[in-house]
Structure 1
Amino acid sequence: MHDVGGELTYRGLEPADVPAVLELLTASLAGGPTGRRSAGFFDWKHRANPFGSSPGLVAVAGDGRIAGVRLFLRWSWQAGGPAGREVRAVRPVDTATHPDFRGRGIFRRLTTDLLDRVAGDTELVFNTPNGTSLPGYLKMGWRELGRVPVALRVARPMSFARGARAALARRPGPAGPPRCELPTAADWFAAPDPRLADLLAERELADAADRRLRTARTAAYLAWRYGAAPGLDYRVATVERGGELVGLAFGRPRRRGPLAEFTLAELIVRPGDRAAAAKLLRAAAASGCDHAATHLAPGTEAAAAALRAGCLTAPRTGMVLAARTPTGPLPAERTLADWRFSLGDLEVF
């Protein structure tokens, strides 16, 4: 039996802490999206991120054990319009408290201390808490902005119906990853298409007029987010026309209980090219899973092509967005409509 009544020390996360942190996260949150919390995944997520290394804090007990951990994933939004600028942000992720030390305010202390640490270089704090954690965030100054909806495109109606019934009955799904016929993003980035630069430049030029916050889709960001992610099995679909690359999408096959889902995280097409967007949406649905799921940001080519591609917004689905500034509440004028998301911006990884 450990004596847990001693004083806790709060300090920055150090490289030597990582094995103990991974053990604590696994005990508290299971294996995460890959099923296993490895040092390689941790380094990719928190050290190789092109937006910057993740700030982190730990609570250390008197006997040297890690009693709690908290990390903020760095992010960068681009605000368009005449006064376009970068909005530096962080996303709270990977937090856990050892069962022996619960009830001692560790979560709140780690969060508030980390907010103080990032206040000098961060403008926005955002995340997608679940129903269990949302009340705690609201008490600490976060504001609920609304639900980011998810659209579905059913590919195999009979299999989808059987899976949906099994999910309602809480029956477990098959073991192992779903089959997917699309090539891997890792292989695609191993020999990247030289035409990607032209597609991204054309897209960025058009997006600069959109005042909503968006993630800048650079080649380096896409390669990190989808090509280098250990164990997440992202796939790629492309559209070519006249020898040019006019569309690109990234997503991953995953189990949703008894259902096999293709989570379409990113879709990039030439400005106004609804035909390419529709083709990519259909390619995601035809990847081999029961259905494809994505977010159709209003005003985008994907949203305009959704009905044509067989996509419908699913009721009572999506992720709740909550946000604040490092120093206090989010300004009242900031709303969900100020963002133009892809599902990859909000997907938990």
Structure 2
Amino acid sequence: MTTPHDGLTYRPLTDADTPAVLGLLTASLAGGPTGTRTAEFFDWKHRLNPFGASPGLVAEAGDGRLAGVRLFLRWEWRTGGRPVPAVRPVDTATHPDFQGRGVFRDLTLRLLEEVAPEAELVFNTPNGNSLPGYLKMGWRELGRVPVAVRVARPGAFALGARAALARRASGPVRPVRCGLESAAAWFAGPRTGLAELLRERAGAEAADTRLAVRRTPGFLQWRYGDAPGLDYRVITCHRGGELAGLAVGRPRRRGPLTEFTLADVIVRPGDRGSAARLLKEAARAGCDHVAGHLAAGTEAAAAALRSGYLTAPRTGMVLAARTPSGPLPEGRSAADWRFALGDLEVF
């Protein structure tokens, strides 16, 4: 169903729009996390998501050009065992010829109305430029999600950090090397012990009222094993021949530095020793430093200090949220969530 407004037609996104949407996103936001926006990545993210296909709207001009696009990524949190269906505003762009006409706002508010019957929560991590616009549309800033850092190569890290602060090059760009097994290969294998590990975690977390994603083998394979172009790697540890823990991250360039972005750490309930082993192994991935969010109360957070991880001051993503129909109740904060960085990483 189409709705004309201000000379534009707002309608649902269709498969046939993909090439034009990719072109518009590239023109507005460059190549994204993989460097190039491909139909394969778009399909993985928006059509193969185990939580469901992404709802999307486009604004179309009379000559057939796309004036704007807005997509919400489906997500599912759980609290105390109860599912909380959610959406995350993600890929959005407005064609330069149509900027300043409220296209972004119209697309966002219309899509909120569309998802209201099926989503309880809308969340995202806007940057400093986009946050004011979201606040005007009913989002509430809930605080920062802190990032813990472990320096792995002190000399290289110091040189890169100084170069970053001075906004200058630190020398020749070094390739990012990482000898860890690829997530694609690991998840394509037998994954022995993973289902049991995740069942134990789910049982231990059932009474936790914080919002968290219930990790299943299928979800983890989609999120890390099947992600095209993101180069996720896997670290495992075993006790008595059984899988005791799993960590997932990806090597990447971060300005003049190389970073191992630690997306997920999963261990058996109470097993701080395995968490420490995984955290230390991440620092041996070959990058200058490791960065990740270690949620309060988790085994990884308890093992952080003795594994060399410190929370970096004045860093971390800003969390903002609302319901589809209006603002969140007062008193909600980022402490109501139990995140892994992979839940919030922009991908």
Aligned residue for 1:27? 27
Q: CA deviation at 1:175?
A: 4.8
Aligned residue for 1:87? 84
Query: SS in structure 2 opposite 1:23?
Result: helix
Query: SS in structure 1 opposite 2:278?
Result: helix
Aligned residue for 2:272? 274
Aligned residue for 1:60? 60
1:149 to 146, 150, 163: 146
Give the Cα–Cα distance (whole angstroms) in 2 for the partners of residues 6 and 287 of structure 1. Answer: 53
Q: CA deviation at 1:185?
A: 0.2
Q: CA deviation at 1:171?
A: 2.3
Given residue 286 of structure 2, which amino acid in structure 1 is its aligned partner?
G
Q: CA deviation at 1:192?
A: 3.1
Give the Cα–Cα distance (whole angstroms) in 1 for the partners of residues 192 and 150 of structure 2. Answer: 31
Q: Deviations over 1:95-154 (max 9, x none)?
A: 000000001110000000000000000000000000000000000000000000000000
1:260 to 250, 258, 261: 258
Range 5-14 or range 60-69, more displaced? 5-14
Q: TM-score, normalised by structure 2?
A: 0.97
Aligned residue for 2:197? 199
Aligned residue for 2:289? 291
Give the Cα–Cα distance (whole angstroms) in 2 for the partners of residues 206 and 54 of structure 1. Answer: 31
Range 222-231 or range 170-179, more displaced? 170-179
Q: Deviations over 1:161-187 (max 9, x none)?
A: 000011112124655751111110000
RMSD (CA atoms): 1.2
**How many residue pairs get matched?**
342
Please list, as runs of the form range in 1=range in 2, the aligned pairs for 1:68-107 lying within 5 A after superposition: 68-80=68-80, 84-107=81-104
Q: CA deviation at 1:296?
A: 1.2
Q: 1:6 to 1:107 in 2, by over 3 A?
A: closer
Q: Deviations over 1:27-73 (max 9, x none)?
A: 00000000000000000000000000000000000000001000000
Give the Cα–Cα distance (whole angstroms) in 2 for the partners of residues 184 and 334 of structure 1. Answer: 38
Contact 2:193 2:242 in 1 (8 A): yes
Q: CA deviation at 1:333?
A: 3.2
Given residue 71 of structure 1, which amino acid in structure 2 is its aligned partner?
L
Given residue 327 of structure 2, which amino acid in structure 1 is its aligned partner?
P
Q: TM-score, normalised by structure 1?
A: 0.96
Given residue 63 of structure 2, which amino acid in structure 1 is its aligned partner?
D
Contact 2:72 2:87 in 1 (8 A): yes
Aligned residue for 1:113? 110
Contact 2:192 2:243 in 1 (8 A): no
Give the Cα–Cα distance (whole angstroms) in 2 for the partners of residues 232 and 176 of structure 1. Answer: 18
Given residue 335 of structure 1, which amino acid in structure 2 is its aligned partner?
S
Query: SS in structure 2 opposite 1:193?
Result: coil
Contact 1:6 1:61 in 2 (8 A): no
Give the Cα–Cα distance (whole angstroms) in 1 for the partners of residues 110 and 162 of structure 2. Answer: 45
Query: SS in structure 2 opposite 1:93?
Result: strand
Does residue 299 of structure 2 align to residue 305 of structure 1? no
Q: 1:109 to 1:31 in 2, by over 3 A?
A: same
Displacement over 2 Å in runs of 4+: 171-177
Give the Cα–Cα distance (whole angstroms) in 2 for the partners of residues 179 and 345 of structure 1. Answer: 25
- Which ranges in structure 1 are unaligned for 5 or more consecutive residues? none
Contact 1:6 1:62 in 2 (8 A): no
Aligned residue for 1:182? 180
Contact 1:177 1:254 in 2 (8 A): no
Q: Deviations over 1:199-225 (max 9, x none)?
A: 011111001121111001100000000
Contact 1:177 1:253 in 2 (8 A): no
Q: CA deviation at 1:193?
A: 1.6
Given residue 165 of structure 1, which amino acid in structure 2 is its aligned partner?
R
Please list, as runs of the form range in 1=range in 2, the aligned pairs for 1:209-288 lying within 5 A after superposition: 209-288=207-286
Give the Cα–Cα distance (whole angstroms) in 2 for the partners of residues 39 and 180 of structure 1. Answer: 27
- Which ranges in structure 2 are unaligned for 5 or more consecutive residues? none
